[in-house]
Structure 1
Amino acid sequence: MDGEKRRFGFWNSIPTRHTPLEDVQGIFASSMIAALGLALMGSAGLVASGTAGVAFVLHYLTGVSFGLYYTVVNIPFYILALKRLGWAFTLKTILAVSLTSLITEFQPHFVRIESIDPMWTAVLAGILLGFGLLGLYRHRASLGGVGVLAVYLQDRFGMRAGLVQLAFDLVVLVAAFSVAAPFIVLCSVVGALVLNLFLTINHRADRYIAM
């Protein structure tokens, strides 16, 4: 019984810190999971929310690689992250975004999808992205995005962070109509809802106390 408790972490009641090696493996594994979710979305022609959505729209419009756009779009948010959350979070986030972009680019050479249902893909991709983001959050990293900007605008100008995030995602989804059919946009909305519901339920500080 004690061995099972230790295996599942029941014995741990005080915060502990991740080692650098634990951070590296956690960020790498989480990036791979997130990249798989993004690859599925791309195969179905879906659009993600946040900066990934911007990268998808630009990719569909121009044909330039998603990974390149995703890396470039996140650069302004690195600057805000550095000011708001410090060097450690920013560097780990840069690593996570770079890994995710790189894996997304190389993944089609190893994983080929010939037939895929957009609605099922939206649900599955939302869950995969949720797992990837959850893993990154628990290693004090992220996949970039407007979350940092939303918090900054709330602190600086009193604009509610949730409304800023919502407004940004609505703009991305409206832009998606220029590159995707209405049903695909609907599926993209479902994917975003699944992702955010997954994180809302599972991303709680009182359920994970490693640092």
Structure 2
Amino acid sequence: MEGEMTMSSPAGKGLAHTLKDDVYGMVLGVMFIAVGLNLLKCSGMITGGIAGIALLLAHVSSLPIGLLFFLANLPFLVFSYFTMGRAFMLKTLVVNLALSAATQGVPLLLTVSYIHPLFSALVGGTFLGMGVLSLARHNASVGGVGVVTLWLQRRAGINAGKSQMLLDVLVFVLSLLTLPLSLLLWSTLSALAMNAMLMNWHKPGRYQGN
């Protein structure tokens, strides 16, 4: 609603976010992503982006997945510092720490005895997209290739959802080496659901808040 009101303003400029806005938006983003990841995990699926990269590394390493996620994110955090600014990088770092804790905490609060792969793929992927979108609206991200897609959208006007999908394709192609085809197809559906959120809602000029 705020975005629609902003676009209709005479000046065409968005209202700056307050600290409360940013904190609330980031909490919502972390919550959506944590739930979405656990829904996919219940069905044994992977996902795109940095999480998919970390899962691939887990197949060739004995390190904990949380540590692999952080290590895989390091070069992207450096990239975000130089391309998106210090504030963006710090927010992304905080998001990563909070997301690691939230992802571990969700199973303690929510027990799923059965989940159909279709529901897991569509709802889990959509929740991931909502989370990424919420973070992006408040100048933050989970890091990884998401930083690259946001930078490409700001620098070259390339839709974040479309570039994210192209990068996800590379992750899924590599996943062919370790995942059964049926599980890979369900995982692909989850990535499509996630990126559909970004392609439809994360468009240049639709939302101008800072």
TM-score bracket, shorter-length normalisation: 0.7 to 0.9
Matched with 2:24 is 25
Matched with 1:96 is 95
User: How much has 1:194 moved relative to structure 2?
Assistant: 1.4
Whole-angstrom CA distance in 2 between matches of 1:111 and 1:100: 16
- Work out whether 1:170 is the aligned partner of 2:199: no
Q: CA contact under 8 A between 2:161 and 2:196: conserved in structure 1? A: no
Matched with 1:84 is 83
The total of aligned residue pairs comes to 197
| TM-score, normalised relative to structure 1 | 0.81
Deviations 1:125-177 (A, max 9, x none): 11101110111111011111124457889xxxxxxx99986664334213333
Q: Does the residue aligned with 1:206 lie in a helix, a strand or coil?
A: coil
Matched with 1:115 is 114
| TM-score, normalised relative to structure 2 | 0.81
Matched with 1:106 is 105
Matched with 2:157 is none
Matched with 1:203 is 202
Specify the structure having the higher radius of gyration (Cα): 1
Matched AA of 1:192: A
Unaligned runs of 5+ in 2: 153-159
Q: CA contact under 8 A between 1:67 and 1:104: conserved in structure 2? A: no
User: How much has 1:62 moved relative to structure 2?
Assistant: 5.8
Pick closer, same or farther for the CA change 1:184–1:140 going to 2, 3 Å: same
Matched AA of 1:200: M
Deviations 1:94-153 (A, max 9, x none): 111221121101211111111111222111111101110111111011111124457889
Q: Does the residue aligned with 2:115 lie in a helix, a strand or coil?
A: coil
Matched with 1:125 is 124
Q: CA contact under 8 A between 1:26 and 1:135: conserved in structure 2? A: yes
Q: CA RMSD in A?
A: 2.7
Whole-angstrom CA distance in 2 between matches of 1:202 and 1:20: 23
**Range with greater deviation from structure 2 (182-191 or 15-24):** 15-24
Q: CA contact under 8 A between 1:47 and 1:57: conserved in structure 2? A: no
Matched with 1:3 is none
Deviations 1:9-45 (A, max 9, x none): 4654242111122211211111111110011111111
Matched with 1:15 is 14
Whole-angstrom CA distance in 2 between matches of 1:144 and 1:27: 13
Q: CA contact under 8 A between 2:146 and 2:164: conserved in structure 1? A: yes
Matched AA of 1:120: F
Pick closer, same or farther for the CA change 1:63–1:183 going to 2, 3 Å: farther
Pick closer, same or farther for the CA change 1:88–1:34 going to 2, 3 Å: same
Q: CA contact under 8 A between 2:92 and 2:142: conserved in structure 1? A: yes
User: How much has 1:188 moved relative to structure 2?
Assistant: 0.8
Whole-angstrom CA distance in 1 between matches of 2:81 and 2:22: 19
Pick closer, same or farther for the CA change 1:209–1:42 going to 2, 3 Å: same
Whole-angstrom CA distance in 1 between matches of 2:59 and 2:116: 19
Matched AA of 2:51: A
Matched AA of 2:70: T
- Work out whether 1:50 is the aligned partner of 2:53: no
Pick closer, same or farther for the CA change 1:36–1:166 going to 2, 3 Å: closer
Q: CA contact under 8 A between 2:129 and 2:195: conserved in structure 1? A: yes
Whole-angstrom CA distance in 2 between matches of 1:162 and 1:30: 16
Matched with 1:4 is none
